Structure formats: C-alpha cells, structure tokens
C-alpha cells in the first residue's frame, strides 16, 4: 500500500513538472506578446546583365522582437533582405551563361503594433554574419513615435542552455489569423561552441525568424535567426545553400543592442 502511495506521489510530481513549463509559457506569452511585432516592407531586387538591370519589387513580411521602450526592434537580416549575404549566380544572357551578383534593398519598412497601427521604421545596424538587423521607429515629420510598453531586455536575466533542454518559443500566427499571439515548446538538439556559441533546435514550435526563445524557467535564451553558407558552387543558380534556423544567444544580442542604440542616436533622420 505504501509503495502504491509513493508511485502515485511520483506520478503527481511528474504531472506538476509538465504543467510548470506550460504555465511558464503562458505567463511569458501574456507578458511579451505585444513585444513580438509583424514587420513589413517592399523588397526591390536588381539583377544586372545584358547591359540593363532587371528590377522587380515585391511585398515582404517577417517578425521582430521589440528590445527597448523607444521601439528598438531586432529582425532577421536575411528575412528583411534575402539576398544580403549571397555570392554570384549564373543567368542566361543572349543564350550565354553569365555570372552576376544580385542586389536587393528593402524600403517602406513598417512595424505593426498590437492595436493595428503601423509605424514607419528605418534600419540602424545590420550584422550579416549574425543575421540581425535593428530597426527604430521613423515617424513622419511633425509626428511622434509611440511608446512601446512591452519589450524584452536580453541583457537582464539571460540564460544558457544545454543539449536536450526544453525551450519555449513565442510568436504570432500570421495575417491569415489576424496575427494572434502564439507559443509552444521545442528542444535544444545541439550546442555549437565554435567559432561562437549557437543553438540548434528541434522541429517543435518556434515563432519563426526574429522571435524570442526562453528556457523552461522563463529566462531569455536568444532570438531565432538564419545561419547560411553564403554563395554557392561555381555556376550555381542557387541563392543560398546549407541554411538552417538557429538561436543566437542572448549575450551576443545584448552586445549588439548597445551598438544599435548608439547607431540610432548618432544617425540623424534624412
């Protein structure tokens, strides 16, 4: 009888532990949902060749995480500019192969707030190696930038993780579902130490590029970005190879936040 009681207690303890990470995820989502923002823009792609560049424009949508009360926001650099870190590709010009380097730029960037308002933004710092771009609000002349009540400070209480640790991802479900906040669980499958620490995670839920990741006890672990091998083999038509989402650690992000804030303060509005 005593043995059955012990087994029951252990089962209840396991249930309580499973509920703890779920409760933590719900608390994080309630606290930080407004810090996860849709970001839109217009992507302009130019492909030189044949004496005249081919140009096309297309809408772009991604997500970012607000980092400060004045609206400094981090996004994946490759999500904002998919051609920012690739090498030359091969195209046909007059029936002959020609190696060209595509160019891309993103304009009309806007951060969508929880109330549906769209705030114009500008880029202040990009690190293509780490795949991060920082944005700040850029209101029209005579207008003021809104206050950002919800933001995530990666420099406070940041944590590390080990292989097999459970993690919590926050995000949004997209325009089709009115950008409803979402959260879920995943797991660290590898901790890469060199040349710098990054985390690989399983295919469980994460909120996508530019969204935050937390440890099971609710501490900021980092943000999801894209790691990719720039360029491709000679003669390749591929834009990028060997790319995979990773978690950029909070410590690296905290250092970049300081640089971005300084860049935003120095760079005057054009």
In the structure, what pLDDT confidence band is assigned to residue 208 with cuts at 50, 70 and 90? very high
Domain ranges of the chain: 29-266
CA angle 11, 16, 22 (to 5 degrees): 135
CATH code at 29-266: 2.40.10.120
Cα separations in angstroms, 42 against 21, 61, 81, 139: 38, 9, 10, 17
Q: Under a CB-based contact definition with an 8 Å cutoff, are residues 222 and 216 in contact? A: no
Q: Of residues 101 and 190, which shows the higher confidence score?
A: 190
Q: Output the pLDDT for position 82.
A: 85
Q: Under a CB-based contact definition with an 8 Å cutoff, are residues 140 and 126 in contact? A: no
Q: Output the pLDDT for position 11.
A: 52
Give the closest residue to 250 by CA, choosing from 153, 170, 183, 184. 153
Q: How large is the average pLDDT for residues 95-124?
A: 86
pLDDT by residue (tens digit) across 34-86? 999 999 999 998 877 666 667 888 999 999 999 999 999 999 999 998 877 66
Q: Of residues 164 and 96, which shows the higher confidence score?
A: 164
Cα separations in angstroms, 63 against 75, 99, 264: 6, 33, 20
Q: Output the pLDDT for position 222.
A: 97
Q: Output the pLDDT for position 93.
A: 60
Q: Output the pLDDT for position 235.
A: 45
Give the closest residue to 136 by CA, choosing from 145, 63, 128. 145
Q: Output the pLDDT for position 94.
A: 64
Q: What number of other Cβ atoms are within 10 A of residue 89's Cβ?
A: 19
Q: Output the pLDDT for position 55.
A: 84
* Mean pLDDT across the chain: 85
Q: Which residues of 13-49 are buried (b: 16+ CB within 10 A; e: fewer)?
A: eeeeeeeebeebbeebbeebbbbbbbbbbebbbebbe
Q: Output the pLDDT for position 220.
A: 96
Cβ neighbours for 29, distance < 8 A, ≥ 6 positions apart: 170, 181, 182, 183
Q: Under a CB-based contact definition with an 8 Å cutoff, are residues 156 and 9 in contact? A: no
pLDDT at residue 26 tops 50: yes
In the structure, what pLDDT confidence band is assigned to residue 112 with cuts at 50, 70 and 90? very high
CA angle 141, 145, 148 (to 5 degrees): 170
pLDDT at residue 10 tops 80: no
- To the nearest whole percent, how much of the chain has pLDDT over 90? 61
pLDDT by residue (tens digit) across 145-184? 888 999 999 988 789 999 999 999 999 998 899 999 999 9
Q: How large is the average pLDDT for residues 211-228?
A: 95
Structural tokens at position 24: 């933590």
Q: Of residues 202 and 46, which shows the higher confidence score?
A: 202
Q: Output the pLDDT for position 234.
A: 46
Q: What is the 3-state secondary structure (H, E, C) of 121-139?
A: EEEEEEECCCCEEEEEECC
Find the DSSP H helices in the chain.
Answer: 2-32, 77-80, 250-266
Q: Which string of DSSP letters, residue by residue, matches 213-252?
A: EEETTS-EEEEEEEEEE-S-STT---S-EEEEEEEEEHHH
pLDDT at residue 1 tops 50: no
């Amino acid at each position: 009888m005593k043995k059955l009681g012990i087994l029951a207690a252990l089962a209840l303890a396991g249930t309580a532990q499973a509920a703890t990470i779920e409760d933590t995820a719900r608390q994080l989502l309630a606290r930080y949902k407004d810090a996860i923002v849709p970001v839109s823009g217009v992507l302009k792609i130019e492909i030189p060749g044949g004496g005249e560049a081919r140009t096309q424009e297309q809408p772009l949508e991604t997500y970012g995480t607000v980092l400060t009360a004045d609206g400094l926001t981090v996004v994946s650099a490759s999500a904002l500019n998919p051609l920012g870190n690739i090498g030359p590709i091969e195209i046909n010009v007059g029936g002959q192969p020609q190696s060209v380097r595509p160019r891309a730029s993103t304009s009309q960037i806007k951060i969508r707030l929880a109330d549906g308002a769209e705030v114009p933004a500008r880029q202040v710092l990009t690190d293509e190696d780490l795949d991060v771009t920082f944005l700040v609000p850029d209101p029209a002349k005579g207008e003021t930038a809104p206050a950002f009540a919800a933001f995530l400070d990666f420099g406070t209480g940041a944590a590390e993780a080990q292989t097999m640790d459970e993690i919590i991802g926050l995000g949004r479900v997209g325009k089709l579902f009115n950008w409803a906040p979402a959260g879920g669980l995943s797991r660290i499958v590898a901790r890469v130490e060199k040349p710098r620490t990054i985390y690989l995670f399983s295919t469980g839920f994460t909120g996508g590029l530019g969204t935050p990741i937390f440890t099971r006890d609710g501490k900021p672990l980092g943000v999801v970005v894209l790691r990719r091998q720039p360029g491709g083999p000679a003669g390749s038509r591929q834009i990028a190879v060997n790319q995979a989402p990773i978690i950029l650690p909070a410590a690296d992000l905290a250092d970049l936040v300081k640089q971005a804030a300084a860049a935003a303060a120095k760079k005057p509005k054009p």
